[in-house]
Every structure is written in structure tokens, then in C-alpha cells.
Amino acid sequence: MPGNDSGVAPQADIVGIPGAALNTLSFAQGLLRALSADSVNPHAVIQVQAMGSCFQSNGPWVAELPDIMSRTSCVRLERISTWMGWEKGDTPSFMSQTPGGKTAALICCALGNLYPEDRCGFLLYELCRRILPQEQQVSSPAQLGDVCMVLQSKVECLGFGNHLAFHVTRLRQSFFEAELGTPQDFADIPTEEDMSIFLEKARDALRDESLVLQISGTRCVGTLLASMSALCPEDITVIVNREVLMRGCRENIVFSISDTPGSTTQLHLEKKLKVHESDFRKSYTITDSQHELNDQMSFSYDGILSSQLDLALALVGAAPNQALKLAVANLIASLATSPTETDFWTYGPHPDEYFPAQGLRTVIGPMYQQLIPNRLEKVLCRPSRELQSPKNEFEALQNILEAALPLTHCSCNICDQGNPWNPKNHPKNRVNASEKWKLCPVSQLWRAVSDLAQSSLLFLFVQSVANTSLKSQNEKYGYPALTCYLWDYFEQDMGRESITSRWLHDSILNMLGSWWTPWDPPGVCSSSNASTVYPSTLEFPAMTNPWSVHYNLVDGRLHYHGDCYDGIISAKEDKKSVKALSRKKAKTSIIKGTVTAPSGLGEHTSLLMTLRPAWMEFRRALLLRCQIKQVNSIIDVNFLDLHLGLVRLSPAKGCGHSLSAPLELTESVKATSVMAPVASGIGAIGVTLTHRNDESQFLCCTSGVRQLYQGDCCMLCAVAQAERECYQVVIGGSPSTHHIVDDEDGQAPRR
């Protein structure tokens, strides 16, 4: 009001608040937002930030951190009201505002990739005990481990695994070029105590320009070099066999690596000599290490399999081998472009195990000839333009493997008998021979390559965005299913492994972590602490002709109503719940007499997709309800059943007839709808009248039966093909915009 100064006083008070108080208020607000986003202990956050402030950091990774730690990328699935990404104002975003927070993120990135979560907490606890004042040591190892994992998850896209593989391979290449024996312990992981002592000494050398940390030896030096080159590359010098391999602006940390025999690494903190001053030296020796990588090590998506193969070769002492990468890529490219549905049959095939008539080419889509080499190049290397048959490529891969590490290096007396991929030669778990076999360098390399081959096949169906990352794609024990299948298939073993569309789907989701339940639930989305993968049909549940099936790998976690979840399932864990969502078969036609295309009599009225939390053992999941309505009828269906039905769907062969040619319905040929696309009766064929609705066409897909998509064929010819080739459903659809093209001679390559 005029004449009343009461409204001015608060403004004067705010202006009079000291700047330090405003900074404190802003700090508290940021910390509270971070706590609500990540549920971490506030004292642990401050302690980790204080730990980071004890170090100096520089280099390209530090320059990227502000954007990476504060990013809020988001992918929304509007239909089910969920999103994948990062919350604004989370713990990494809060810590990106200070140099200590950014440095701590780099340290946690390295530790989180090298050690399990519980060991990271103990390591940070020990490191803080060494370098922080006692009054700042207020958090438990578990609380520090939580903060470490939160930071590591968000900066995982930097790809520490790729970074480690680069430096280890670079060191090993120097030895091979000098024709010297290459140590096999470059990539070993030091014990937690040794790492904390190393970080303490590195802190001293970085803060005091008069000190130099000298590292000599070979054990773990690749791991230590990768950690320091991520943190402070400008302070590092690397000398290999008296030749400078890398030199920064300053020489505060010096790695001196030579072929001198010995299995220890010496750490010497030395003072630079000056006139009238005495030198002092603090020494420490690393004598123990872990000669295997942490299975939770993260890799950026680009080059993930190439880096993993480099590390696998380093662990067994084999030379870097580009020919081996090319052989794996050629095998997978040949497999993806060659097989038909029968190539993946098991003994006594079941409809659940069918792929489409043209094999994986139909699933990948009409652009498979471009997509296959491009996607392999992104993760491993580009395959050759001229490919041999899958059997010849499989044999070529085995020959290159034997040349890379001869079977004479076998230490288990199993691999040297020949045929390391023969499942009959593999020892069973919990027997004495099994432990020797797992530690054998030949067995380790062959298992690593088989893991990469299977992952290469899975990555053909994955589309990734920027900043995505994945954990190491390695089986803990034994060989993956693909290698066992290929061996049995080419050896014509009637009891061979099976490669099915459900296996393909589950394996892609499990790239972000297994569900770890006695019975695998019908998952349709999987999320880790850093990335999320889901089929494109979850975002757009509709058909296109020709179609393609791919999975989106996006940056960030799965969010729903303010909470984070590990995945989405389409039915509860018990088999009864899955069976309850099965659609009944149509006993009669929805129309009598003659039907003419296009027809929409079998289309649905609406599709409702909703989510709700569903707690599972060890996992936090969301349960997807998929409800189809047609006029006054409503049914619930299993979304995974629809998606796998699309994966198995085969296109009908085109004909020269009019697509609107009429079809006479009979007792064995029935017109059906989305409510019951499969016709009942032995030999009966259901023809869905869904020509004008691409969403209805997708909803007619069913995983348990063989289905044909009408597309470029008239209904009469499509039904005739279904009768000849034992299809049970013909999905009424629209003609394609373009056709799948085979090789130049018109024939796909064969065995």
C-alpha cells in the first residue's frame, strides 16, 4: 500500500545477507536434491568430495565431466507413462560443481570398474583414513561404496574398459615390436590395500612439485597407468625399455617398464635433488594381484567388443590380433545373411523355435546388407565384403585362434586334445578338472572369443544413442549357447543346442544383467545403473511392411513415478499367470461366405497399456498390462507374446494377382480378429481381417504358432502357401513399400 514500507524491508534484508550465507544455502539445496534423487548418505557425499579435493586432475576426461555429470538426457515412452534417463540435480550433478567432486568422480570411475561395490567402499574408507583429517572421516564403507557406485554409473559412458584396453595394448605392442617377451600381468588388478597406498603416494606427488612417484616393474602397471591417465595425463611419463612412450607437461608420476624378469612392481616416492638438500625415498612393493578382470567393468558402446578382445589377449599373453576380430565379424555376418528358418531347428522342431522363412535377414529388416556391417563395425570391426559360408567362416575362426595361441600352451590337459569348442570335451562344474580348465590360458581365450561372437550376433539388433555403456559381455563359466549350437550344427549332432527367438530376446535384455530367478519372467525391458534396453515395439506397437525388429539402448535408468526400476515384465513370475494371458482359439469365422481385401472387420477398438510396480526377488520390476478392446469385448494379453510373434513372422511370397481378389471361407479357412487370431481345429488356418490397421496387425502376432503376413500376396495365394508350409495364421496386411534384396546372383549364401 502507498505509504507503507513494510513490503520493502524483506528486500533490504535479502540484499543484506552475506554472500557466504547464500552460497551455503545454495549448497544445502543442491545436496538435498541429490539425496532425494539417489538415496545416498549426505556425510558420505561430502566426505568423497573432500577426498577428491586432495588430488589434482587434468586432461580430456576432466574437461568432459561437467557435461557428463550434469546431463539430464531423457527418452519417454508416453504410452506407458515411463521414461529412461537421468534426474535433474542428482548426486553426480551436484558434485560436478566443484573440482573435488569431479576428481572424485574420476577416481570412483576407475575403482568401480576394477572392484566390486563392497570392496570399493572398503578401499575408499582406507584411502580417506590415510589422507583426510580424522574429523572428516564420518562415513562407513557401505555408505562410501554407495556414493562410489552412483558416481561411477553416471560417468560409465567414458568407457574405462575401453581406456584400459587401449593402454594395455599399447604397452604390449611396444614389447612385440621390440621382439621381447611380453609380460602377462599388465592388466592384473592390485589388491585394495595396494591400490589405496598407490593413490596416497600419487596424491603426494601431484600436490608437491618437488616429489616424483617412480613406478617400476610390470605387475598391474597397465591398470595403474589407465587409472592415472584418466585422472592426470599431463603429469605422467611412460618409459618402456628405455624409450619414452608418453610424456606429459610435468613428470610427477613416472612409469618405467622393462623386460627385466620379476613379478613385482616397485613404488618409490622420491624427492628431486637440490643443492645442499638431502634426498629421501619412500618405497613400497606390489607383490600380489588378481589375474582376471572385474566382471562389472564398464565399456562405452563404441568399440566394446574390440576392447574386450584386446584385454582377453593381454590376460593370456597373446599378441594383439586384428585378424581374429575380422574372423569373428565375418562369422557373424555370414550367419546373419545366410540361414533360413530350418538352420536354427533343434532335433524335433517346435513352433516356439522357428525364425522367419528368410532367417535373421527378415528380423533385421530390408536394409540388412547395410546394417550388418555397420553395426559390427561399431562394436568390433567391419566384416569383409566377400563372405564364405558359415561353416567355412567357423573353421577359419578356429584356425586363427589356434595360430594366436597354440594349443601347446594348454595347462589343463583338455584343450590340447583338440576341438576346444566341442561341448563333449568340457568338464562338468564342481570337479577337479573344471578348475584347471577355467584357469587354462587356451580355454580362457577360446571362451572369451565365443562370448564375443555371441555378443556380436546380439548387437546386430541393437540401436544405441550417445553416452551408452555396458558391462563386460562375458560368461562366468562355460561357453555361451551360440558356440555350442554352431559346433553341434556343423558336426550334425542331433542333440544340438537350440537358438530360438526367445533366447535372442532374453540374451539382449540380459546384456544389462541377468534376472537371477529360478524361472525367467517374461521381461520386455531391462535397466542397469547406467543404461536401459527395450524393444522398439514397446514404443510403437504397430506393423510396417517390410518390418524390422530392433532394440533401443538408451542412456540412463528406468524411471516411473519418481522411483528407479530394474526392468519391465509382461506377466508375473509364475507360469499360471503367463498361461492366463493366452488368447483362446476362434471356433467360428467372424464372417461367412466370401471376404474381400482390404477388410477391417477384425480390427480392435482400442489398446490400453499400463504399468504398476511388481516386486520380485532381488529385482524391482514394473508389470505391464496390455488390454485390447473390441466393441464390448476386452481381453488382457502378454506383450512379450506379441513381440516374439513379430520376431517369428514370415512374409508371404508375392504374386501377380490383384490384392483385393476375394477369398472363399471354408471349415478349415476361417476369418478371425485380434481377439482370437488362431483358428481352432486340426489344419485350420485363421485369416485376420486387419488390412487397414497396422496396430491391429501387430496385435495379431502370436509366438506359439507359425504365422504368415499377407503383404504383397492376394489372400487366396497366401492361404495356399500357408497350407503347403504348415502356417496356422495369415495376418491381413498392406503391401510393402520395397522388397528385401538378396545377393547379386539372387541367392543367399549357403553352407
Lookup: cell for 698: 501387430
Q: List, in sequence order, every residue forming a beta bridge with 560; answer none if it has no partner.
A: 563
Q: Is 695 in contact with 542 (CB distance < 8 Å)?
A: yes
pLDDT at 437: 81
DSSP run (H or E) holding 613: strand 606-616
Q: Which of 26-30, 60-64, 506-510, 576-580 has the highest mean pLDDT?
A: 60-64
- What are the boundaries of each domain within the chain? 26-156, 160-290, 301-461+472-493
3-state DSSP helix/strand/coil % of the chain, to nearest 5: 45, 20, 40
The 10s digit of each residue's pLDDT in 443-459 is 899 999 999 999 999 99
The 10s digit of each residue's pLDDT in 99-132 is 999 999 999 999 999 999 889 999 999 999 999 9
Nearest alpha carbon to residue 162 among 306, 329, 48 = 306
The 10s digit of each residue's pLDDT in 578-595 is 888 999 999 999 999 999
Question: Which amino acid is residue 563, in one-letter code?
Answer: D
Question: Has residue 475 got a pLDDT over 50?
Answer: yes
pLDDT at 294: 79
User: Lowest-confidence range among 287-296, 392-401, 668-677?
Assistant: 287-296
Residues 6+ positions from 229 with CB-CB distance below 8 Å: 59, 163, 167, 236, 246
Q: Distance of CA 159 to CAs 85, 109, 293, 308, 379, Å?
A: 18, 9, 15, 11, 13
The 10s digit of each residue's pLDDT in 127-160 is 999 999 999 999 999 999 999 999 999 999 999 9
User: Lowest-confidence range among 67-81, 368-382, 384-398, 734-748?
Assistant: 734-748
Question: Has residue 274 got a pLDDT over 80?
Answer: no
Q: What is the mean pLDDT of the chain?
A: 86
**Confidence class of residue 699 from pLDDT cuts 50, 70 and 90?**
very high
Residue 213 burial by Cβ neighbours in a 10 Å radius (0-12, 13-18, 19+): buried
What's the longest Cα–Cα distance across the chain?
Answer: 110
- CA pair distance 620, 637, nearest whole angstrom: 22
pTM to 2 decimals? 0.88
Q: Residue 422, SS3?
A: coil
Q: Residue 623, SS3?
A: strand
pLDDT at 420: 86
Q: Is 331 in contact with 337 (CB distance < 8 Å)?
A: no
pLDDT at 484: 82
**598 upstream amide cis, omega within 30 of 0:** yes
Q: Is the dihedral of CA 500, 501, 504, 507 positive or negative?
A: negative
- CA pair distance 313, 300, nearest whole angstrom: 19
CATH topology of domain 160-290: Dihydrodipicolinate Reductase; domain 2 (3.30.360)
Residue 348 burial by Cβ neighbours in a 10 Å radius (0-12, 13-18, 19+): exposed
Residues 6+ positions from 599 with CB-CB distance below 8 Å: 689, 691, 692, 732
With cell 606427488, the residue in question is: 205
Our CA dihedral for 583, 584, 585, 590, rounded to 10 degrees, sits at -90
For residue 460, what is the DSSP state? T
